[in-house]
Amino acid sequence: MNSRVAVIVVAAGRGTRFSTDQYRQPKQYRDLGGRPVVSHALEAFLSHPAITDVLVVIHPDDTDLYDRAVAAIGPVAGEKLRQAVSGGASRQESVRNGLVAMENRNIDLILIHDAARPFISHAVIDAVLEKLTEGNRAVLPAVPVVDTLKRLDDKSGQLVTVDRTGLWAAQTPQGFDYRTILEGHEKANLAGRSDFTDDTAIAEWLGFEVILADGDPDNFKITSRSDLDRAIKRVPMTKIQNPGLAELGDVRMGTGYDVHAFEDGDGVILGGIRIAHDKRLKGHSDADVVLHAITDAILGAIGDGDIGAHFPPSDPVWKGASSDRFLEDAVRRVTELGGKTAHVDVTVVCEAPKIGPHREAMRQSIARICNLPVSRVSVKATTSERLGFTGRKEGIAALASATVRLPFTGEDFS
Interacting residues toward Mg ion by CB under 5 A: 258, 292
Q: Is the peptide bond before 173 cis (omega within 30 degrees of 0)?
A: yes
Smallest CA-to-CA distance from 327 within 307, 347, 346, 312 is with: 307
CA atoms of 335 and 329, how far apart (whole Å): 10
| Residue spans of beta strands (DSSP E) within 272-355 | 273-276, 279-281, 340-349
* Least gap, CB of 297 to Mg ion (angstroms): 13
Q: Which is nearer to Mg ion, 60 or 265 (CB)?
A: 265
* Least gap, CB of 371 to Mg ion (angstroms): 22
Q: Which is nearer to Mg ion, 293 or 379 (CB)?
A: 293
**274: β partners:** 269
* Least gap, CB of 292 to Mg ion (angstroms): 4
Between vectors from CA 107 to CA 105 and to CA 113, what angle results, nearest 5°? Answer: 110
* Least gap, CB of 287 to Mg ion (angstroms): 6
Q: Which is nearer to Mg ion, 230 or 319 (CB)?
A: 319
Q: Which is nearer to Mg ion, 9 or 270 (CB)?
A: 270
C-alpha distances out from residue 22 to 16, 59, 247, 335, 414, Å: 13, 21, 17, 27, 8
* Least gap, CB of 345 to Mg ion (angstroms): 18
User: In angstroms, how far is the first alpha carbon of the chain from the final one?
Assistant: 44
**177: β partners:** 109
Q: Which is nearer to Mg ion, 82 or 310 (CB)?
A: 310
* Least gap, CB of 295 to Mg ion (angstroms): 9
CB-neighbour burial class of residue 64 (10 A; exposed 0-12, middle 13-18, buried 19+): exposed
* Least gap, CB of 366 to Mg ion (angstroms): 15
CA atoms of 116 and 110, how far apart (whole Å): 18
Residue 1's CB is within 10 A of a number of other CB atoms, namely: 12
CB 142 within 8 A of CB 170: yes
Type of residue at 337: L
Q: Which is nearer to Mg ion, 247 or 258 (CB)?
A: 258
**Phi and psi of 122, rounded to 5°?**
-60, -30
Q: Which is nearer to Mg ion, 221 or 277 (CB)?
A: 277
* Least gap, CB of 258 to Mg ion (angstroms): 4
**Phi and psi of 377, rounded to 5°?**
-125, 130
* Least gap, CB of 283 to Mg ion (angstroms): 6
- In the bound state, the residue with its beta carbon closest to Mg ion is 292
CB-neighbour burial class of residue 367 (10 A; exposed 0-12, middle 13-18, buried 19+): middle
Q: Which is nearer to Mg ion, 196 or 318 (CB)?
A: 318
Q: Got the DSSP string for 342-355?
A: EEEEEEEE-SSS--
Q: Which is nearer to Mg ion, 144 or 305 (CB)?
A: 305
